[in-house]
């Protein structure tokens, strides 16, 4: 092989390696929390609060809907990867479709904090919450679930809309994020849109994931 052929071959190999490096870098890039376009500094934390109106969980035989669900999360970035912990999950004015005789006597998050992290799937960013545990006590003498506690467990994935600064839990986001919640031995769906904002050092600054 002459010098010219070797030179052409080397240029081709270098070009291929450069292209591969771009794709590898893109594939391995992880999303991070940002405020006003700048990454949350390594080692720094921020308290965020998300409030959903009309959020529901489709527990078998009793879709449970709350006028409001509120989550508090402490977020951070570690090695340019977004992390977090759900430190509080509150439920207000909850009812169930499990029949007119059925009531929601109590509902509460358990085993807090729940760890969370960010991922990117097909160009969309997701907030993944692991180790979810929510206990729901149903009441009503004529209710088939009366006196029964349905425990929701598993992981939940919400797609994050940067423009709206909101996390959306639904069947599509759960499927894309490969997360699953279960209760009473069956998979359940969590539906809710949580507009989210900072409540400490970055109040009123736009929250995005990139």
Q: Residues 27, 17: contact at Cβ < 8 Å?
A: no
Q: Same domain for 25 and 42?
A: no
Q: Same domain for 13 and 37?
A: no
Q: Same domain for 18 and 35?
A: no
Q: Same domain for 64 and 137?
A: yes
Q: Same domain for 72 and 103?
A: yes
Q: Same domain for 109 and 167?
A: yes
Q: Same domain for 5 and 103?
A: no
Q: Same domain for 22 and 108?
A: no
Q: Same domain for 11 and 88?
A: no
Torsion of CA 14, 122, 115, 158, to 10 degrees: 160
- How confident is the model at residue 101, as a pLDDT? 83
Range of the domain at 24: 1-29
- Mean pLDDT over 99-126 rounds to 94
Token digits of residue 159: 């797609």
Q: Same domain for 184 and 129?
A: yes
Q: Which of 14-18, 33-37, 163-167, 198-202 has the lowest mean pLDDT?
A: 14-18
pTM summary value: 0.84
Number of domains in the chain: 2
Confidence of residue 97 (pLDDT cuts 50, 70, 90): confident
Q: Residues 188, 148: contact at Cβ < 8 Å?
A: no
Confidence of residue 21 (pLDDT cuts 50, 70, 90): very low
Quick one: residue 154, left, alpha or beta (phi over 0 = left, psi -120 to 50 = alpha)? left
- The contacts of residue 10 (CB under 8 Å, 6+ apart) are none
Q: Residues 188, 59: contact at Cβ < 8 Å?
A: yes
In tens, the pLDDT along 152-196 reads: 999 999 999 999 999 999 999 999 999 999 999 999 999 999 999
Q: Same domain for 47 and 23?
A: no
End-to-end CA distance of the chain: 48
Q: How far apart are CA 64 and CA 97, in angstroms?
A: 7
Q: How far apart are CA 64 and CA 203, in angstroms?
A: 32
Q: Same domain for 76 and 145?
A: yes
Centroid of chain to Cα 123? 16
């Amino acid at each position: 092989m002459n010098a010219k052929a070797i030179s052409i071959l080397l240029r081709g190999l270098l070009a291929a390696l450069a292209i591969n490096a771009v794709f590898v870098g893109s594939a391995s890039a992880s999303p991070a929390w940002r405020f006003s376009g700048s990454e949350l500094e390594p080692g720094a934390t921020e308290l965020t609060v998300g409030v959903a109106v009309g959020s529901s969980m489709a527990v078998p035989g009793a879709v449970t809907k709350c006028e409001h669900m509120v989550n508090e999360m402490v977020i951070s970035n570690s090695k340019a990867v977004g992390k977090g912990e759900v430190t509080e999950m509150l439920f207000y004015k909850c009812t169930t479709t499990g029949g007119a005789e059925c009531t929601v006597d109590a509902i509460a998050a358990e085993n807090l904090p729940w760890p969370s992290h960010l991922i990117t799937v097909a160009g969309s960013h997701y907030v993944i919450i692991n180790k979810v545990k929510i206990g729901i006590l149903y009441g009503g003498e004529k209710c088939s679930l009366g006196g029964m506690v349905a425990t929701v467990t598993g992981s939940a994935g919400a797609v994050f809309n940067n423009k709206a600064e909101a996390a959306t839990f639904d069947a599509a986001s759960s499927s894309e994020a490969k997360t699953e919640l279960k209760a009473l031995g069956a998979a359940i769906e969590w539906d809710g849109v949580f507009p989210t904002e900072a409540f400490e050092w970055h109040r009123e600054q736009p929250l995005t994931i990139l």
